Amino acid sequence: MVNLSWGTLAGEQKVDTEIEAKPRKHAQGMRFESVNALVTGAGRGFGSLISIALAKEGANVVVAYNKSKEGAQKISDEIKGMGRKSITAKVDITKWDEVKTMTEEIWKNFGPLDLLVNNSGEVSSKQMSWREITEEAIDQTLAVDVKGTLFMIHEIGKRMFERKSGTIVNIASNVIVTGSPRAPQYAASKYGVIGLTKSYALAFAPWVRVNAACPGYMDTEATTTRKDWTPQRRKWIVDHTALKRIGKPDDIVPLVLFLASDDSIQMTGNIVIADGGFSMPGA
């Protein structure tokens, strides 16, 4: 039986022996050769960069999108141009039925997934202050970040668990350390992602690893087009960041790939913050 600090769950599989992790055999720089991956929110922003980077290292990629259909098609075509398998998949992750249907279709038509990157997120970018909070914004943020991430982990993760193999990376945020006076529901939702990460890391152990990457401010469209993203605010953040810079999405992609690959074979339930030392959590 797996001896975990929290004990065992009724009805779960019993594992009586020590587990010998079996790293995949891959050529250098090709950590995802023949890995089937799905990235949510991959039609634009950070998700599209993660998808391309995975494909460059050999992955076949399901480019999942909700509204960014054209962007998703472009990314998928680019991946196919590299000689990998790729399809687009339309899914509103807040709808459990859509997640179920998409997952069934992928298993039937694309093949079992080895890797899931939950990148989709709702940052409430139009809300500039806690004073502007609305019930609609709260519901939408929690629905995408918490419910949507849960549905994806649940549907895809349970199939990985049955196959005794798989890796899940959730994208949270350094807001789990700093809080967000602008959008408290965003901070709460990313705390929710941490709760999901730890819970499923335990639930799916020892077969499926689940970790979270927490970027700080990144120079993405979602940030730079915000009304409150003034030169003064940008400078304040740089001044309060130990590394004196705002992260470029390309700086954070390698962290996601690290957590997605066998390089992090001894990590599960881990929360890794990459924000240039802005929040610098203590031990």
Minimum Å distance from CB 262 to ligand NAP?
A: 24
Do the Cβ atoms of 168 and 157 come closer than 8 Å? yes
Minimum Å distance from CB 91 to ligand NAP?
A: 6
Percent helix, strand, coil in the chain, to 5, is 45, 15, 45
Minimum Å distance from CB 1 to ligand NAP?
A: 36
Closer to ligand NAP at the Cβ: 58 or 121?
A: 121
- Residue 155 as a binder of ligand NAP (CB under 6 A): the answer is no
* Binding segment toward ligand NAP, per CB under 6 A, in 7-15, 31-39, 217-225, 231-239: 217-225
Q: Which two tokens stand for residue 213?
A: 């990457």
Q: How far apart are CA 271 and CA 69, in angstroms?
A: 31
Distances (CA, A) of 116 to 146, 232, 246: 16, 37, 27
Active site residue 65: no
- Residue 233 as a binder of ligand NAP (CB under 6 A): the answer is no
Instruction: Give the one residue of 32, 36, 37, 41 binding ligand NAP; rule: CB under 6 A.
Output: 41
- Residue 222 as a binder of ligand NAP (CB under 6 A): the answer is yes
Closer to ligand NAP at the Cβ: 55 or 142?
A: 142
SS3 state at 87: strand
Residue 22: count of CB within 10 angstroms of its CB: 9
Closer to ligand NAP at the Cβ: 120 or 167?
A: 120
| Residues making contact with ligand NAP (CB under 6 A) | 40-41, 43-47, 65-68, 91-94, 119-123, 144, 148, 171, 173, 215, 217-218, 220-223
Catalytic residues: 186
